[in-house]
A and B are shown apart, each in its own frame.
Chain A
Amino acid sequence: MMQPVSQPVSDDPLLRVENLVVEYPVGNKTVHAVSGVSLDIARGETLGLVGESGCGKSTLGRAVLQLRRPVSGKVLFDGQDLTEMQGDTLRRIRRRVQLIFQDPIASLNPRRRIGDIIAEPLVISGVRDAKKREQLVHDVLGAVGLDPQLVIGRLPHEFSGGQCQRICIARALVLNPEFIICDEPVSALDVSIRAQILNLLEEMKARYGLTLLFIAHDLAVVKAVSDRVAVMYLGRLCEVGPSEQLFAQPAHPYTALLIEAIPVPDPDVRPAESVAVGEPPSPIAPPSGCRFRTRCPRADQRCSDEVPELREVAPGQFVACHHPLIGAA
């Protein structure tokens, strides 16, 4: 079953994903990592993508970049279908899109100096003039709040996790991309450093006019930076909508559950007792119908028979559920 192409946010989105399907073979079985996801990201927008571990967020991000080729579906970047591109054409367009990963330390080559790490994308993309490269590296390090003089000659292990993430962000920005996929950029960082990096991403977005796909499993983190939020569960989209609206009135039972699970730093708010029953089922044999039905308090027969399709329940808010929390069923 496929979900319909939906939620057009603008006539000219920078990224449009249509019915994307990504699978991994394991032995003689198949992991259904992404099963028919469609979404749009407007120019200059930040779309947050949330969902539990293993629901397919990274796979979706990697498939957008064609780092993992989808089984079917389209990825239109600036109107061009990346799934049909090969070799040089693809490489040229990929320069306009960058990725930032969860583990900043592991994503930096431990034997190379910071200056070289950041200059590398420039070398690869053919910036021959060493002086110019040096200037660009200096500028971008300054922009992410590091002192170029103190940083360029040193190795990654001499920096903390937060500083390494700044370095990764600098490396992603140096080619002046239009679109950045941030895959859990703050999940491995401490609360105190997390706030610094989130602020930095917001600043960089404004300064460089970026469009962002911001992946995380923490809803509060996602809300802090996103214009719209997409909630994913076991390879499918549950809900997409404007951030505030989605948090104020979630339509999908899973979204509501994620919101409830956020620890609130207030001793007068008792934590919701066992909000989530059970764990996500295996993506090798996902449940029929609605994939969330094995954990959903509202599930009925229809939920196991029929795949719910995304439909609009409030302006700009789309939900894939037979019995949504808002709007008539």
Chain B
Amino acid sequence: MTGPALLSVEGVSVNLPTPRGNLRAVDRVDLSVGAGRTLGIVGESGCGKTMLSRAILQLLPKKAMLSGRVMFDGQDLVRLDRERLRKLRGRSLAVVFQDPMTSLNPVLTIGTQLIETLQEHLELDGQAAKLRSIELLTAVGIPAPEQRLMQYPHQLSGGMRQRVAIAIALSCEPKLLIADEPTTALDVTIQAQILDLLAREQRRRHMAMIIITHDLGVVAGRTDEVAVMYAGRVVERAPTHDLFKRMRMPYTEALLAAIPKIDAKPHTPLPAISGRPPDPTRPLKGCSFSPRCRYAWAQCQIEKPRLEDADSPGHQYACFRPLNTVAGVPA
């Protein structure tokens, strides 16, 4: 890893009381991102990706219990008071959600929302804020930005709305942008545009970025490092190239195999992952993936594998029978 991390998540757990009992949504996660770098977080629905990003942003549901540390730019966000947090979230820490309507206010025009954000956090006057808004909308590829300022979110297409949400998120030059499934609701062509846009702005601003997705295809060409989550835990973490070329976790392999490939022949059965993740209120004693893992053996049901270092730098995995190793399963 180059340079000290801008963000480091240390031993973060999130527990939620539910009628069925305690739900451990995030389980002792360690992660870090440096300035100008992109981290991908991948995993299937319910594995805790959003809860983790909310834990970083200190935007958890009220009843949630958070433990661990979230060090951002030298301070622990978990211990920061509300006012300082609010300032930080507007300026240095920004977020884009899957559904742009969650970050946009439906009753205010695009212009009002952008201009207010700029005025509040950058203390620009009205005219300067307006000019800056137009610049931002242009930067995110919105045609006729002057006119868009007067429009309401519902008057825009899904792709346009996501661009506006990104423009607002970028407006105060954040140091870290968290994009939680920014393109899951969009078409493939628009998805490519939005991901390009994020990459471009990130390079330009030397911003750190976390892209959250359930699709390994989305992170392959666009991240420096990837963390794979399963049932609340990070089960594999590696520089992107290493992850794809020398994956160790059977779960990562299964996730990759399940994506329909454009060069496969029609009607080729897909290697699906059978079953589904365990009930998060009933954690398993052994490896959480064991009921679905084709390599599972007795030990996997009894003991939980710890996240351990692989022989390549920056690569970690939690598995008793890692792929591509002498001790584990031959690839």
Contact = CB atoms under 8 A, between A and B. Distances in A.
A binds B: yes
A225 B267 CA distance: 5
Contact of A191 (B193, B258, B263): B258
B310 interface: no
Contacts of A263: 188, 191-192, 195, 215, 217-218, 220-221
B260 A202 contact: no
Interface in B234-253: 240-241, 243-245
A258 B188 contact: yes
A264 B221 contact: yes
Given A53-B187, A220-B262, A276-B193, A195 B272 contact: yes
Given A225-B266, A266-B220, A191 B259 contact: yes
A218 B216 CA distance: 15
Interface string B252-296: 001110111111111111111110100000000000000000000
Interface in B9-56: 44-45
Contacts of B271: 195
B41 to A, nearest CB: 14
B220 A267 contact: yes
Contacts of B158: 53
Contacts of A30: none
A264 B215 CA distance: 10
B266 A221 contact: no
B155 to A, nearest CB: 12
A90 interface: no
B148 to A, nearest CB: 13
A231 to B, nearest CB: 12
A258 B189 contact: yes
Interface residues of A, number: 51
A223 interface: yes
A191 B44 contact: yes
B267 A271 contact: no
Most chain B beta-carbon neighbours within 10 Å: one of A195, A198, A221: A195
Interface residues of B, number: 51
A269 to B, nearest CB: 6
B88 to A, nearest CB: 31
A15 B160 CA distance: 37
A162 B92 CA distance: 38
Interface string A154-193: 0000001110000000000000000000000000001111
B157 interface: yes
Nearest to A282: B157
B303 interface: no
Contacts of A274: 192-193, 196
Given A190-B214, A267-B220, A195 B260 contact: yes
A262 interface: yes
B132 interface: no
Contacts of B258: 191-192, 194-195
Nearest to A161: B45
Interface string A215-228: 00111110111110
Contacts of A269: 220-221
Nearest to A54: B157
Given A190-B214, A192-B258, 15 more contacts: A161-B45, A192-B44, A194-B258, A199-B272, A220-B260, A224-B267, A264-B220, A265-B256, A266-B220, A267-B240, A271-B192, A274-B193, A274-B196, A278-B143, A279-B160
6 A-B pairs with least C-beta separation: A263-B217, A195-B272, A276-B189, A195-B270, A195-B258, A265-B217
